[in-house]
A and B are shown apart, each in its own frame.
Chain A
């Protein structure tokens, strides 16, 4: 029976013109049919449609006022001088030109690109394999490892904690590097070459989507793995033929979040390296620079930079969708 009735009910083709007054004539709990309706002509689906509209309306209004309106306004502003004290003047592509020529913008895009690549390889793909490996352990071990690896800590709190751990003089990492490994003192966040790498490292431990992978893996019917085991499949074959295909939709979805999240990285680098993204802007991401522009009251430039970033992020997302085509079988 299970698979048989999974159709999606369609609404009546009745005109959706839902006049609110009509709701009153809907049949009451007494059970009698409404007096005015003749058998065969009534359309109870209409009531459902009105209800549907009413239920979605608040969310729709919210989305409109907090989502679409600011976005469109920002887009409009980017073509003006965004002056505060006098009427706004249309300036065309001027701010786009200015942003295009700004060397700091180019640097911030380079920083963001490196940060995105590093964070997706290290904090996105590694947890997939860690999660699959964890599933091979006994159930008790899985629980402990989940706690250790995927601890859901508060973002800002743990970020501040990491700042102390990275401290060049008395941080834990420095202690490990010099006292345990016997290396010369490391610059960590103070090195322009290393800063982005060290920014990403905490993500492996704490901000990975590992818990979601584990939950998805645990929802795969055990019989798939058992049948594969009986059929002679080893660890790698089980991973390629069962775990990864079953994780595919969730990987695809989380990858979009990861792309959007890392192209718009702001809080973590700011807290770790300061608003300037020291040393010398080596950790200044696009959004950090955008924030600087805002602080300098260069609203038009800031919005233009925002539009550039939007276009690039959108392109990445579209490319991602191409690679991860929807597969109805998974």
Chain B
């Protein structure tokens, strides 16, 4: 258990052949800083190639940063070898020893480190007890007979046995099928809460990140764009990228003209939520922040309605002035070719006309 500080990490890779010179000029990690409080889980989310796995490897010690420092409990570990850092890693492909039973996998660490067999067995047993119901029977099976979810539980137990200061998880459940992923992620979250070990959890799935992380770090192109709780990212995004990255279906972004406190969007005029300097801007509206069927709305041509009975909702897909729009509606929303839609102006995000600057965010939800 530890407090982890990552300070101004820079990592460059050599010129990778192909894809032109542009990529190699850009560092894989560009001045990344991150603090993990004792017992906290931070989820790092970003699309492929954003540097999230590189960051994880640097914290683990598997890669060396070009600049910057990694500290565990205030102690500089940048030059410490991975074995000596006391981190437990859980990988995408579980990385269990296939020839051993679950038990052997747990005891392996102690055998390698020359502890007695009794001690190894005792520690494995103790961990098994703490892992919860039904775990013990996994230990007597050969690992290749276990399901993906079960293998991942053994892999986590193997880390816990060593009492790591820090857990590093690299997309641990992305190889499981959807239904199993659902239950396994609850399992992992509960274990993390129970053991209170600081954790860095890497994923490309923003919903998984929201679920796993006490805080979420959104990465892109080697930089952390924003780090915060779900509410901070969702209601007060730092920029357009974070605003569209968090939330599914994603936010709709429409061009608008501001003049005299009014926003003109596709022929409709709406009052601006905050004073906006006259000129072109863009407004962002989340699917759940639309009113439908109001006379003063913008005209939306509907392409199809996606009904999700399991979520008691329908998503109306279509276009306003050629821009794709998604509107959440009740499940029984009738089929129409056109729809008048109007945003809940209190829940609108305002962005500059170019670039990604955020001019206004609605902030946390205020129901009354």
Contact = CB atoms under 8 A, between A and B. Distances in A.
B14 A8 contact: yes
B16 A7 contact: yes
A9 B63 contact: yes
Interface in A10-65: 10, 12, 26-34, 37, 39-40, 42, 44-45, 48
Contact of A44 (B12, B49, B79): B79
Given A30-B84, A33-B79, A44 B64 contact: yes
Contact of A45 (B16, B64, B75, B83): B64
Nearest to B79: A44
Contact of B13 (A10, A27, A31): A10
Contact of A7 (B28, B78, B79): B28
Contact of B78 (A6, A12, A42): A42
A35 to B, nearest CB: 12
Contact of B48 (A4, A8, A30): A4
Interface string A301-330: 000000000000000000000000000100
Nearest to B7: A39
Contact of A39 (B16, B69, B80): B69
B140 interface: no
B171 A33 contact: no
A3 interface: yes
B7 to A, nearest CB: 9
Interface in B291-336: none
Interface residues of A, number: 28
Given A7-B28, A31-B85, A12 B64 contact: yes
Contacts of B49: 3-5
Interface string B67-100: 1010000011111110111100000100000000
Given A1-B171, A31-B84, A40-B67, A10 B79 contact: no
A39 B84 contact: no
A27 B61 CA distance: 13
A173 to B, nearest CB: 50
Nearest to A328: B18
Contacts of B171: 1
A242 B63 CA distance: 38
Nearest to B71: A39
A48 B63 CA distance: 11
Contacts of B77: 31, 33
B17 interface: yes
B344 interface: no
Contacts of A34: 79
Nearest to A38: B76
Nearest to A28: B84
Nearest to A30: B84
B53 interface: yes
Contact of A12 (B28, B66, B85): B66
A209 B81 CA distance: 44
B86 A31 contact: yes
B282 interface: no
Interface residues of B, number: 32
Contacts, number: 72
A260 B92 CA distance: 44
Contacts of A12: 64, 66
A7 B14 contact: yes
Given A3-B48, A4-B48, A10-B13, A42 B85 contact: no
B204 interface: yes
A91 B204 CA distance: 72
A39 B171 CA distance: 31
A27 B79 contact: yes
B29 to A, nearest CB: 11
Contacts of B64: 12, 44-45, 48
B14 A10 contact: yes
Contacts of A8: 13-14, 16
Q: Which of A2, A32, A37, A328 gathers most chain B CB within 10 Å?
A: A32
A33 B75 CA distance: 8
A40 B13 contact: no
A37 B13 contact: no
A41 to B, nearest CB: 11
A31 B50 CA distance: 30
Contacts of B83: 29
B142 interface: no
A24 to B, nearest CB: 14
Contact of A9 (B13, B48, B69, B204): B13
B236 interface: no
Given A7-B28, A27-B81, A40-B69, A32 B75 contact: yes
A203 B331 CA distance: 72
Contacts of A44: 64, 78-79
B198 to A, nearest CB: 16
A33 B80 contact: yes
B54 interface: yes
A5 B47 CA distance: 12
B221 to A, nearest CB: 12
A27 B84 contact: yes
A5 B53 contact: yes
B52 to A, nearest CB: 9
Contacts of A37: 79
B13 A42 contact: no
Contacts of A5: 49, 53-54
14 contacts: A4-B48, A4-B50, A7-B28, A9-B13, A9-B14, A10-B12, A10-B13, A27-B80, A29-B81, A31-B75, A31-B84, A34-B79, A48-B64, A328-B18
In the A-B complex, the 6 residue pairs with the closest CB atoms: A10-B14, A7-B13, A4-B49, A4-B48, A31-B84, A44-B79
Given A3-B48, A31-B75, 12 more contacts: A1-B53, A1-B92, A1-B174, A1-B204, A2-B48, A27-B84, A33-B75, A39-B69, A39-B78, A44-B64, A45-B64, A328-B17
